[in-house]
Every structure is written in C-alpha cells, then in structure tokens.
C-alpha cells in the first residue's frame, strides 16, 4: 500500500488575472506534487477589495479549506470594515500596497510610485507584455528574487509562509 500523507488545503484568491498568473507561478515553485499541501488558486475578476473578500466568502461557503487567503490591491475600496470582514471569516489578506504591479516592481528594485495604469505599463516589459501567463513570471520572479524580497515586501513574506517556505 502506498504511503498516505494528509494534505493541508490552501485556497488563495487573486483579485484578477495578473494575480492569478503570479500565484500559479508561486504554486509551481513551492507546492510540488506530494508535498502535503493542496493549493487551489482562484480569480475574483477584479472590482476592488470589497468584491474580492465577498467573492472569497462565497467560495468558502461551498468547500472547506485549512487556510484561505486573498491577494488584493489596497487602492480600491480597501477599508477597516473590509479588513474586519475578512478577519471574521479567517481570510488572510495579502494586501498589495497600493497595487500588485507596485509590489512586483519593488521586488525588481524599480521605484514604483505612480498611478496603477502607469505601473502596469512599467511592469509589462519584465513579463514579456503577457502578465496573465504564469510562464511570464519565471524569468524575473524565481525563488531567489522572491525570497530576497521577503524583508521589504510583507505581502510576499506572508505568501511564502502560506506555502511553508
């Protein structure tokens, strides 16, 4: 009989397609088959922090996970009320300050203080202008870069801890 290992289950909801692609990239790096962690990545399809938390709550109403997290931007309707709602449902918030593109640029050592659409354009060349493809994150966001960024990006540190890294 094969060795059976209990699996911990982890649900991470990304705010949109870019987060979903990045999270799938991180999953590939840190959650290999048979590692004891079953990771589900879902996409809330944008619409701001409140929508992401509401959408995540609907997901966990239908299925049980050991750990639940949501990666969302803080530039659109992020508030203490939304944070409290997430905490009440035991959803760990991976807050991208002020947005996902800013976090990614800072990991690359690029100054990232501008509005979201400008930051999106600045990040695009590092992702071969395809931010919705998991493979686009491989070149510039390997384990070394992610782990080096843990000290300056609490969101990346929290994300890697979810994977047991």
CATH number for the domain spanning 78: value is 3.40.50
Q: What is the mean pLDDT of the chain?
A: 94
State residue 3's pLDDT score: 55
In a domain, 89, yes or no: yes
Q: Is 4 exposed, middle or buried (0-12, 13-18, 19+ CB in 10 A)?
A: exposed
Cα–Cα distances in angstroms (integers) from residue 67 to residues 8, 22, 89, 113, 161, in the given order:
8, 19, 11, 32, 11
pTM score of the predicted model: 0.94
- Residue 19 covered by a domain: yes
Q: Are 65 and 40 in contact (CB under 8 A)?
A: yes
Residue 3 lies in a domain: no
Give domain status of residue 2, yes or no. Answer: no
pLDDT tens for each residue of 126-159 = 999 999 999 999 999 999 999 999 999 999 999 9
User: Which range of residues forms the domain containing residue 140?
Assistant: 8-162
Q: Please, is 107 exposed, middle or buried when counting C-beta atoms within 10 Å of its C-beta (0-12, 13-18, 19+)?
A: buried
* pLDDT tens sequence across 27-77: 999 998 888 999 999 999 999 999 999 999 999 998 999 999 999 999 989
Total count of domains within the chain: 1
Neighbours of 157 (CB within 10 A): 16
Whether 1 has a pLDDT exceeding 80, the answer reads no
């Amino acid at each position: 009989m094969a060795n059976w290992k209990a699996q911990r289950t982890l649900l991470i909801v990304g705010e949109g397609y870019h987060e979903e692609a990045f999270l799938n990239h991180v999953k590939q790096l840190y959650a290999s088959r048979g590692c004891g962690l079953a990771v589900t990545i879902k996409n809330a399809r944008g619409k701001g922090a409140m929508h992401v938390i509401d959408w995540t709550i609907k997901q966990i109403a239908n299925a049980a996970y050991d750990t639940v997290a949501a990666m969302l931007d803080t530039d659109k309707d992020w508030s203490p009320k939304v944070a409290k709602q997430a905490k009440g449902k035991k959803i760990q918030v991976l807050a991208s300050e002020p947005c996902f593109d800013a976090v990614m640029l800072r990991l690359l050592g690029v100054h990232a203080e501008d509005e979201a659409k400008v930051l999106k354009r600045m990040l695009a060349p590092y992702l071969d202008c395809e931010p919705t493809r998991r493979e686009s994150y491989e070149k510039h966001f390997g384990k070394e870069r992610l782990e080096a960024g843990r000290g300056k990006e609490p969101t990346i540190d929290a994300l890697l801890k979810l994977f047991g890294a």
